Structure 1
Amino acid sequence: MRQVNLRSVDLNLLVVLEKLLETRHVSVAATQLHMSQPAVSRALQRLRDALQDPLLVRIAGDYELTERAIEIQRLLPSALATIKDVIAKPEFDPTTAEETIRFSGPELELNLYGPPLLRRMKREAPGMKLEMKSDIRNQFEPLENGKAHFVLSGQTPTTATSQLHCFSLGRFSYVCLMSRNHPLARKPVSLEDYLSQDHISVMITGAGHSIIDEKLAVLGHKRNVAVKIGSFFAAMHFCGQSDMLFLVPSIFDTQIYNGHNTVPSPVPDFLKDHHQEFFLYWHERYHHDPMIKWTRNLMKETTKQYRSGE
């Protein structure tokens, strides 16, 4: 088959070609296309040059299609339909969608934001599914390699990348969590109280709550971290079954505290300005995808109460 230089073919010419093959008349085609007759004549000449075939030939006063034109007329409708599908903006209907949205991130973020999102999805997109994979180390790698549509995280990328987008899911102060039977339960915790207790730390990046330790170091103090653990909810369970303290964001509700036999108390003054912000991240490759846009909007709606000023 002869190779065709596609750069020499204007897509608009294919529309003209379809009408010329249908009407077999330049003037009639021009009228139906709302073009001038000279413009259609020029288009026909360009098509003849590109296809190296006369396409329309005059026989006994009428125009007839060449054999090549007959074959093109058979193939052209499906070709134009394919081109339209390629160019057309994709649509997304949540009521009929059956796709799976893939999330990745630490268990804390997945547990906080996954259930509210799932409840909304089941109402608005009953056929869709959620896939949530807990990952605390290379948190942003699933976005880079395309294994996840979104990452939920309280961390920021260690290396700047223009390929990632994000928005805030909320910014929260901290509370000091302890067993409901702890002597300090439901009381304001002073710095002296805080330092006198053993502590639990979650190892998100391998070092525990290093920011807390840095703040204490500036004040000339050091806390005793008795347990370092890789699971946030396991840490809450440890806390409820011991006399150790555990710092958590204030996003949790009473039901979660009760489920772990814990209660929150106000943090010491040196931690009053310490906050945790959570983000929804996604990659540029999905930025304009209608399904991903819909999911982002759903996340904004389900977390609106956590963002001030909205």
Structure 2
Amino acid sequence: MNDLRRIDLNLLVILDALLGEQHVTRAAERLHLSQPAVSHALARLRDLLGDPLLVRAGSGLVPTARALELVTPLAEALAQVQSLLAPNTFDPASARRTFRLAMSDYGAAIILPGLIRTLRAEAPGIDLQISHASREGMVEGLLNGDIDLAAGVLPELPGELHSTPLFEERYVCLLDRQSLPAEGVLDLPTYLSRPHVLLEMRGSGTPEIERTLTALRERRRVAVSLPHWSVAPQFISGTDLILTVASRALNDIDEEALIVVPSPFEIAPFTFVSAWHKRRGGDQALNWLNRRIGEGIVRG
């Protein structure tokens, strides 16, 4: 009981910021506190927990083993306290909140335009922090509390995470119009004979395409590999390259120069989901945001 009486909830908030930033000045800026106040809080935390928690390395700080053990339970505890103190109802018009979302540039292009318009109209006090992460990075961020919501292709999630489908997507092929075969159909031999553009970020590539080709005992030659799709269509114009990509990624192509055709072999469609940690299930604001994301995609 004596130890509990010594605990100030603000200390846990400061510890969370310090572990996230690993820098006293940046943590102070994030919390809108002075640097001396954060340094004093760190000294109290060290005394309270009997561990240095963060040790100097160069111009920053490195967490100790004990501090690393605290990251996940600390994030869970703060989320539970926030949920406990939150009102039973959520009023978007008066809410003041910042949400941390993770998604690829493909997901951002589909989700953010409609979502941001909705927020400006219905919840102008809600701010967004968007980060770009691989599939593994999204899962890790949800588990350790670094992000509130992830949107992506997440077929296998640990039991601590929940998800809801946003839409089902299919693959198509993008070609320069002049490179389309005379008969107007892209067949498998032509597909395999051409060079390809591969969209691949660690943990977020297109394994569905490669798995399907492997099952067919075929391979394609990748001439260009890059980690984001937004510039990929520009590579196709005036070349013999083929881009096999999710169909929604091609909504705004130059239709005079480029053409979208079906894949010459069947590639399984995939489901794009939003995911969050189960500890956030009672967060009415996050639930509202998740619903608005889904509704915006349906309207779009």
Q: TM range, normalised to the smaller chain?
A: 0.5 to 0.7
The equivalent residue for 1:58 is: none
C-alpha distance after superposition, 1:2-38 (max 9, x if no partner): x9xxxxxxxxxxxxxxxxxxxxxxxxxxxxxxxxxxx
Alignment of 1:101-180 (within 5 A): 101-136=99-134, 137-157=136-156, 160-180=157-177
Q: CA RMSD in A?
A: 2.9
TM-superposed deviation, 1:292: 0.5
Contact 1:164-1:284 within 8 A present in 2 as well? yes
Partner Cα distance (2:162, 2:239) in 1: 41
Partner Cα distance (1:226, 1:141) in 2: 32
In structure 2, do the counterparts of structure 1 residues 215 and 115 end up closer, same or farther at CA, with 3 Å as the change threshold? same
The equivalent residue for 1:97 is: 95
Please state if 1:296 is matched with 2:290: yes
C-alpha distance after superposition, 1:55-84 (max 9, x if no partner): xxxxxxxxxxxxxxxxxxxxxxxxxxxxxx
The sequence identity of aligned pairs, in percent, is 26
TM-superposed deviation, 1:161: 1.9
In structure 2, do the counterparts of structure 1 residues 104 and 186 end up closer, same or farther at CA, with 3 Å as the change threshold? farther
Structure 1 stretches of 4+ with a deviation exceeding 4 A read 85-89
The aligned amino acid for 2:295 is E
The higher radius of gyration belongs to: 1
Aligned pairs, number: 219
In structure 2, do the counterparts of structure 1 residues 248 and 99 end up closer, same or farther at CA, with 3 Å as the change threshold? same
Partner Cα distance (2:276, 2:240) in 1: 40
Match of 2:269 among 269, 275, 285: 275
The aligned amino acid for 1:141 is E
TM-superposed deviation, 1:249: 1.4
In structure 2, do the counterparts of structure 1 residues 200 and 252 end up closer, same or farther at CA, with 3 Å as the change threshold? closer
Partner Cα distance (1:86, 1:150) in 2: 19
- The unaligned stretches of length 5 or more in structure 1 are 4-84
Partner Cα distance (1:294, 1:164) in 2: 18
TM-superposed deviation, 1:96: 1.3
The equivalent residue for 1:264 is: 260
Contact 2:198-2:222 within 8 A present in 1 as well? yes
TM-score (norm 2): 0.65
TM-superposed deviation, 1:190: 0.8
The equivalent residue for 1:198 is: 195
Alignment of 1:1-310 (within 5 A): 89-136=87-134, 137-157=136-156, 160-184=157-181, 187-205=184-202, 208-240=205-237, 242-252=239-249, 254=251, 256-258=252-254, 262-268=258-264, 270-271=265-266, 273-304=267-298
